[in-house]
Amino acid sequence: MSPQLSPAQKQQFGDDLQARRSTLNGQRDAYLDGSSRAEHARAVLLQDGDDATQRDAEREVDFARTDRDAVALAEIDQALQRLASGHYGQCITCGDEIALARLQLAPQAARCVACEALRERGAPKPATL
């Protein structure tokens, strides 16, 4: 079943997704200062000082941050592809409509709340200190 979004709603979601994509790209570019992810990590490692443990921690934070941004950008790109193909707002797992309120909160959402909850329950939990 295809979601019943008006053309104006689809346009607004597309605009919102593009704006989020642009913001994330800008933040990532500013953070990496024009370097690749690997170059930035290497620069952190080569910083002067004797605090190797601190540099290791900073590198791990860098990797986590760039990983998170890459995942968010991929989700946005996938949502834009669904929008272009006419499948935006349709759960990729069960095919049901994704609630409008969910799309308004998270325009990149690919699953309805029920399917996302099931997916998250099955996902491994992140390690804690």
Give the burial class of 55: count Cβ atoms within 10 A of its Cβ; 0-12 exposed, 13-18 middle, 19 or more buried. Answer: middle
Using CA atoms, how far residue 105 sits from 44, 71, 74, 98, 102, in Å, is 35, 18, 18, 11, 5
pLDDT digits (tens, 9 = 90+) for 2-16: 458 999 999 999 999
Is residue 111 predicted with pLDDT exceeding 80?
A: yes
Q: Are 51 and 57 in contact (CB under 8 A)?
A: no
Alpha-carbon distance values, 102 to 92, 99, 121 (Å): 14, 5, 19
Q: Please, what CATH class does the domain formed by 7-122 belong to?
A: mainly alpha
Q: Is the pLDDT of residue 31 over 90?
A: no
CA distances to 24, 41, 44, 75, 86 from 19, in Å: 9, 28, 30, 14, 20
pTM: 0.76
The string of pLDDT tens digits covering residues 60-108 is: 777 788 888 889 999 999 999 999 999 999 999 999 999 999 999 999 9
Domains of the chain, residue spans: 7-122
Summarize pLDDT for 41-62 with one digit per residue, the tens.
677 667 656 666 776 677 777 7
